Amino acid sequence: MFLRKNRKSANGEVYEYWTLCETVRTELGPRQRVVATLGKLSEQDLAAGWEDIEALLEGRKPAPRQFLLEKAKATPSWAAAKEQAVASAA
């Protein structure tokens, strides 16, 4: 499944809306079928991602996300060994 951005022009104004589509195999080859029309989505809605697609389909706001920051990883032992080999070769 994927999101498709649609544009429609009427009376000189451009309207944008989103549809949820899936690819279906037919005798004539692959086709895209519209599963749901999501309407106009804000940037916050688009940033929600696939985890919150159910909430978007039901018209609810996605749950706020909390991102964890990873601690800086230590230098791997093989990198330190390569540095020593390069230093001794010079």
pLDDT in tens, 18-33: 888 899 999 999 999 9
Q: Measured between alpha carbons, how far is residue 76 from residues 69, 85, 89 in Å? A: 20, 15, 21
The answer for residues whose C-beta is within 8 angstroms of residue 80's C-beta and 6 or more apart is none
In a domain, 37, yes or no: yes
Does residue 78 surpass a pLDDT of 80?
no
Decide if 58 is inside a domain: yes
pTM assigned to the model? 0.49
| Domain with 36 in it | 1-62
> Average pLDDT of the chain?
77
- Whether 6 maps to a domain, the answer reads yes
pLDDT, tens digit, for every residue of 24-58? 999 999 999 998 888 887 776 666 666 677 776 77
Residue 87 lies in a domain: no
Domain count of the fold of the chain: 1
pLDDT confidence bin for 86, thresholds 50/70/90: low
